Amino acid sequence: MNQPESDDDGLFDHCPWLYAQQATAEQRAAQERRQKRLLGGAGAGAASVRLGEGCFVAETAAVYPEHLSLGDRSYIAAHAYVTGEIRTGADCTINPFTVVRGTVTLGNGVRIGAHSSLLAFNHGFSPDLPVHQQPVTSAGITVGDDVWIGSHVVVVDGVTIGDHCVIGAGAVVTKDLPAWTVAAGNPARRIRDRREPRGAGQRAVVPGGVAAGGVASGGVGSGGVASGGVASELSAFADDARAQAAGLLDRCWQPGTGRYVDRPGAEPTVRAHCDAVEIAALLLGQAPPHLPAAEHAARLRALQDPGTGLVPEFGAAPPVPGPAGLPQDGASAYHVLCVGYALDLLGSSFAHPVHSVRTTTADRLVAHLAELPWHDRAWHAGAWVDSWATAAHWNRRLGAEAAAPGAPEALFGWLHTHADPWTGMWGSPTSESGRLQMVNGYYRLTRGSFAQFGLPVPYAERVIDTVLDHARDPRHFAPGRENACNVLDVIHPLWLCARQTTHRAEEARSWASAQLTAALRRWQPGRGFPFGPTPDGTGPGREPGLQGTEMWLAIVWLLADLVGLADELGYRPRGIHRPEPALPVGPGPL
């Protein structure tokens, strides 16, 4: 039953909607034989299977039902796993690698995206019996007419999805959804009524696309978010920011030097040029208008030192690599991130691998990780890991070896074995700043390692506990004391861990809601966002500039996404703060 009769059938197995128009007589005969086997054999029994006119069942699908009734023109695609009592109306599609088990009833015109699971059964987990001996229950799943269920969705037992619903990719549906609901997230929650017109700048949830690991994009907020008011504010803010983007970039462009400054009166920096590229990509969908995209890329590529692969600051000597490939601190370590991602946004890349990381051995890397200042300067330690892992990422993108054999694996092995199971973090609180170094270091470390390579973080629930406790520290989060770095370094871990757990989800959304409202007030027309106050008075501070604008634009998106309103913005970070992994881990070394 599971072996295809002909390689020619593979197209229709994976794209069954093509079968009716494109199948040859031989392929139709093979499908007829397949259906006869379902109707009369393999333990199904003739009375337990009914297939309507024009149906298609892939040869590679595992179909072992107690009862199967497919309406006319309904399909089961390749490698689907179908068991139990399944009834569908007409024009239904169960796409490749989908699991439909238990008692499941689909109406007419239901589309189920690839890799989704409708699991209409459950079993107990009381402590008196092993899990495999627990009794099984099945309340059943019912899906109405004209429903689109995106890819990687999970629908649990007992759920009813009403007519005309749309479920975003990656959602986990745990409760009934009324008719016409557009829903997304983990757990799935209502975004809007499908019949409602979308506001300016709002985009539809794309069920076949990415839903940020299950965090709802573009929805009705919770935890204190009043969706109507905040949604309108977000949409209006994004429209204003786009209209003013060219002007705030002009403000920081120096025609005489051909370089960007963070803010008027400051010196030109490499980071300012990269921030300008990120802002233009977010708000304008193009390179900064002062130069053609190819010229922006050529100027940034020319900054790289070919001997080390590192990028010095304007006018500085070539950087000296540290003992494991990168300097401990300084602009060149951050340039691995900002220049690399600016080039990526411009459709280009570094001219050379980061040689000093490419030659790092596992032994040298592990020894250096142990020597980093985790106890009292965890931000600096985490920032080093971020830069090293990002350099390995760019090396791999260039087709070079990321590092010496075993070094990337050694990095993740060390991080897993040294994460504190009580806090989920690396490092310790300090008397001077509390958890600030730990949490800010956690953001930098996980951004370049776990998030960038699409790996789950260890102890996600403990991380949320630590971060929420830190977010109540008045030394850093009293009104008027927040800055872009501190808010980013809280929202990103909360957002990242929400992809793995719903632990304290309402508290996280409540915090994000309050910060979102405050963040929008910081925008200064025509000038952008100020970075915010810093304790030592250094850095961009309260003057609006490119760094503050680039960071707060990403922060606003992360805050909005956690409360389910990100689609109101009409932009999605694609550079340093991109929500998707830059390069998911696959076979072989990083």
Active site residues: 123
CB-side neighbour CA atoms (13 Å) of 394: 29
| DSSP classification of residue 531 | -
Burial 468-481 (b: 16+ CB within 10 A, else e): bebbebeebbeeee
Q: What are phi and psi of 46, to 5 degrees?
A: -60, -35
Instruction: Return the DSSP state at 151.
Output: T
Where are the strands (E) in 160-300, listed by range? 160-161, 166-167, 172-173, 181-184, 189-193, 253-254, 259-260
**Quick count: other Cβ atoms within 10 Å of Cβ 488?**
21
Is residue 528 a contact partner of residue 544, using CB atoms and an 8 Å limit? yes
CA distance 219 to 209: 16
Residue 132: how many CA atoms within 13 Å on its side-chain side? 0
Tokens (6 digits) for 16: 């069954």
Element holding 49 (H helix, E strand): strand 49-51
Residue type, position 419, single letter: A
**Which tokens is 389 given?**
């892992």
CA distance 283 to 529: 14
CA 146 from centroid of its chain's CA atoms: 28
Token pair listed for 188: 């799935």
> HSE of 481 in the Cβ direction (CA atoms, 13 Å)?
11
Alpha carbons 273 and 4: distance in angstroms, whole number? 55
* DSSP state at residue 74: -
What span, in angstroms and rounded, lies between the C-alpha atoms of 556 and 487? Answer: 10
310 and 319 Cβ atoms separated by less than 8 Å: yes
Identify the three-state secondary structure at position 48.
helix
